[in-house]
Structure 1
Amino acid sequence: MGDFKLEKKERITKNSEFRTITKGGSRYTTQNFSIIIYRNNREIRRLGISVSKKVGGAVKRNRVKRLVREFFRLNKDQLPEDSDFLFIAKPGSIQLNYSTLSDEMLEFFKHFSAV
């Protein structure tokens, strides 16, 4: 049961780490997100989320972040190891519910792993 926990070490929190990932990572886009994947030298997957004010007010931005964190928490074992994932929300992401977001992300990562 502890495997489903999103631990502090699995979060990207520092501004310098966000900049490093943005500059050095590979950028991919889905309908509602830009996803930057950066290979790290750690043996863990880490998550960063960026939701600008253009997406909506604080309540809507926080909801999008909760949905992305929940997806990551439940599906992190299916994602590539040794990687940092930065999810940048697009304005359409506030319309999503969890199942739609999950379907979009699983489809992306299925395609990504085939590349």
Structure 2
Amino acid sequence: MRRSLSKKEIVKRKPEIDRIFKTGRHFPCHGLKLIVSQNQLDVDRIVVIPVRHYGNAVQRNRIRRQIKEIWRTEKPRMIPGYDFAFVVYPGKVHDYAFQKEQILSLCDKAGVFYQS
């Protein structure tokens, strides 16, 4: 079983990221902002963007890996057809459990989970 994201699940191109920011709905919380935009695909896609002054390269890559892992484990609960942009701001460093709780609450606000 593959435990990483496939290439079609990651947004890489600048025009696609710009479209997410322009057409997406914004859901902020402390230290993190979620922007959700519909796409015309049958998969959800993600991009994690730490702001410019978010620590050094090690810290930026670590937060990217953490958020992508949380998203990967929770994506079976999500309705397909959305692009997600997570913008991470500097501040107090939180543990994995707090990050997961924060991301799940933002996704719930955005209404991207299947109704249970």
- Compared with structure 1, are the counterparts of its residues 52 and 112 closer, same or farther at alpha carbon in structure 2 (3 Å cutoff)? closer
> What is the TM-score when the length of structure 1 is the normalising length?
0.88
Counterpart of 1:65?
Answer: 64
Counterpart of 1:97?
Answer: 95
Structure 1 residue ranges without an equivalent (≥5): none
Structure 2 residue ranges without an equivalent (≥5): none
Counterpart of 1:36?
Answer: 35
- 3-state DSSP of counterpart to 1:63: helix
Which amino acid in the other structure matches residue 39 of structure 1?
Q
Q: State whether residues 34 and 106 of structure 2, in contact with CA within 8 Å, keep that contact through their aligned partners in structure 1.
A: no
Q: Give the superposed CA RMSD.
A: 1.7
Deviation at 1:113, TM superposition (A): 2.2
Identity of aligned residues (%): 26
Deviation at 1:79, TM superposition (A): 2.2
- 3-state DSSP of counterpart to 2:30: coil
User: Quick check: which one's helix share is greater?
Assistant: 1
Which amino acid in the other structure matches residue 103 of structure 2?
M
Aligned residues: 112
After the TM superposition, which segments of 4 or more aligned residues of structure 1 sit over 3 Å from their partners?
none
